[in-house]
Amino acid sequence: MTAQVPDPEPAADPVTAQAARRRTFAVISHPDAGKSTLTEALALHGGAIAEAGHVKAKSGRRGVVSDWQEMERARGISISSAALQFEYRDHVVNLLDTPGHADFSEDTYRVLAAVDCAVMLVDAAKGMERQTMKLFDVCAYRGLPVITVINKWDRPGQEALALMDEIESRTGMVPTPLTWPVGIAGDFRGVLDRRTGDYVRFSRTAGGATRAPQDRLDAGTAAEREGDVWHTAVEEVALLEASGAVHDPETFAAGASTPVLFASAVLNFGVDQLLDVLLASAPAPSARRAADGHARPVGAPFSGQVFKVQAGMDRAHRDRMAFVRVCSGHFERGMAVVNSRTGRSFSTKYAQQVFGSDRSGAEEAWPGDVVGLVNASSLHVGDTLYADEPVTFPPIPAFAPEHFVVARARDVSRYKQFQRGMAELDSEGVVQVLRSDRRGDQSPVLAAVGPMQFDVVTHRMEHEFHAPVILEPLGYSVARRTIPTDVEVLDAQRNVEVLWRIDGTPLAVFSDAWRLSAVQRDHPRLVLEPLAADRSA
Ligand code: GDP
């Protein structure tokens, strides 16, 4: 595949040229499919680090971290997302990390708003799992192209053709393998490169800690060496050819087909191929549509969107960091930018580029890059920052919460701190904080995609805002967007309540889907819109 990566198109201006060199993507997968392992392997191949194991150690990482991150670590999960950047074959690859635990999938949704492509990592034995499907739906909703990697081929698993059927039936995308495994799952010898017909033979290294050597052999030599195993791969590839499972850039870009690769992240097999496909086929950053419908070309003056806000990354400074995806223009540290929501200017003196757990000053960034801004207390998830020419990007959709609790300050004399904490956690997107007419301002309702988000609230309210909370579960599980004129009718229904978002949108929440259907049946004129990327929609 080496020969297939085109040189970036020569472009007229430096910004467009820098954008063309960039690939910004995230990995979506079910926990344990190997996302951390693949991230390390990619970084290793990209030369970002000398040896695997440095990107995201799941345990034993020391340093200045906040209590709540320690709490997450103790549970073997990481909720701190960062971006990993490395150069590879004259391109710049930005891999945006996503949290591993399903309860924090809302963070993953936001990261998907900041990438141009997703890599869907599938465990060869388990196939399409729940969380993979949920995140795939978000990609489909956003129209993101998806590259599929079948991982753990070194271990016994399903048959490759059966996996292709499963991907097609579950996602609706036509899988178009670019490589095909030589050897069944558990006996991974190498891959057949469908574009050249060659055999790429892998060799193991101790522990997979270094780049795995690979040789490229022609079909004749492969047949001599591998015998039946090679012939099986050739026959299966002929079946794929006959069924039209052939890579097509247009259907890939439209999300109708997905190139597939086979890999073993832990052995570093198939990682080069993934990088080559990213460079050759994944989209570079391109014009982004603004809320008014106009597209902002990458060559326009600087603009970017906040996709994540994180507090307490550094306990010594009690800082709050906003992660901004650069959408257009050239970002230079210290430049004056404006927050389009507030109209106020924001200092970028403390811009930092984020690499794993290390942070170093970013002097400049280009479309597709991620910049971390400290002292970001005025920035909210979804905010647009710009220089010179004003622009506002559409808000990042808030996803359908499925868990609801009512919150109260344990100590009423700490109500001020309680309110401050709630506002902060809402603007960071830790949970959605909703107002209930029935319950009053003292008792907001918190809405989450996963219940562990509430643990973060409890912990941070106590340790960071010194206002311990009592959370009582509410028996709702379905939310729909409604309009103010329908609120009265809805609020009168049994097992239904109307809650208000900070932006003034009313949400109707129902005990379950049956209750929702019953209300819809009895009152067909009510506006009850599903929230974005709601699977039950
Ligand atoms: P994550 O939860 O998706 O980040 O998954 P990890 O990267 O932590 O991997 C989960 C487990 O699967 C770990 O024990 C890994 O060593 C193992 N693993 C990851 N990739 C492979 C692979 O390609 N082959 C095998 N056999 N194990 C793998």
**pLDDT single digits (tens) 383-426:** 999 999 999 999 887 778 899 999 999 998 999 999 999 998 98
**Residue 164: what pLDDT?**
97
**Residue 9: what pLDDT?**
56
**Residue 81: what pLDDT?**
44
Residue 246, Cα to own-chain centre: how many angstroms?
27
Q: Which two tokens stand for residue 211?
A: 């780049």
Ligand 1 atom with the smallest distance to the CA of 267 is 23
Residue 79, Cα to own-chain centre: how many angstroms?
12
From 32, 54, 122, 151, give the residue whose CB has the most ligand 1 atoms within 8 Å, as the site to mutate.
32
Q: What single-letter DSSP state applies at residue 195?
A: T
d(CA 109, CA 141): 11
Q: Of all protein residues, whose CA lies closest to atom 25 belonging to ligand 1? A: 152
d(CA 136, CA 108): 11
d(CA 405, CA 499): 12
From 28, 37, 84, give the residue whose CB has the most ligand 1 atoms within 8 Å, as the site to mutate.
37
The strand pair at 22-29 and 117-123 is best described as parallel
Ligand 1 atom with the smallest distance to the CA of 37 is 7
Collapsed DSSP state (helix, strand, coil) of residue 151 = strand
Establish whether residue 32 lines the binding site of ligand 1, counting it when its CB lies within 6 angstroms of any ligand atom.
yes
Establish whether residue 266 lines the binding site of ligand 1, counting it when its CB lies within 6 angstroms of any ligand atom.
yes
d(CA 261, CA 241): 16
Establish whether residue 102 lines the binding site of ligand 1, counting it when its CB lies within 6 angstroms of any ligand atom.
no
Cα angle 135-137-142, degrees, rounded to a multiple of 5: 100
CA of 61 to the centre of ligand 1 (A): 19
Q: What single-letter DSSP state applies at residue 190?
A: E
**Residue 73: what pLDDT?**
47
Q: What single-letter DSSP state applies at residue 72?
A: H
Low-confidence ranges of the chain (pLDDT < 50): 1-3, 49-68, 71-81, 356-357, 533-537
Establish whether residue 477 lines the binding site of ligand 1, counting it when its CB lies within 6 angstroms of any ligand atom.
no
The strand pair at 364-365 and 331-332 is best described as antiparallel
Q: Check: CB of residue 364 under 8 Å from CB of residue 330.
A: yes
Please report the sign of the dihedral spanned by the C-alpha atoms of residue 171, residue 172, residue 177, residue 182. Answer: positive
d(CA 43, CA 193): 23
pTM above 0.85, yes or no: no
Q: What angle do helix axes 219-226 and 228-242 make, rounded to 10 degrees?
A: 130
CA of 38 to the centre of ligand 1 (A): 8
Residue 466, Cα to own-chain centre: how many angstroms?
32
Establish whether residue 155 lines the binding site of ligand 1, counting it when its CB lies within 6 angstroms of any ligand atom.
yes
CA of 39 to the centre of ligand 1 (A): 11
d(CA 37, CA 42): 9
Q: Which residues make Cβ contacts (< 8 Å) with residue 377, sequence separation at least 6?
A: 320
Q: Check: CB of residue 147 under 8 Å from CB of residue 259.
A: yes
CA of 502 to the centre of ligand 1 (A): 40
Burial of 19 (0-12, 13-18, 19+ CB in 10 A): buried
Q: Which two tokens stand for residue 166?
A: 């499963």
**Residue 324: what pLDDT?**
92
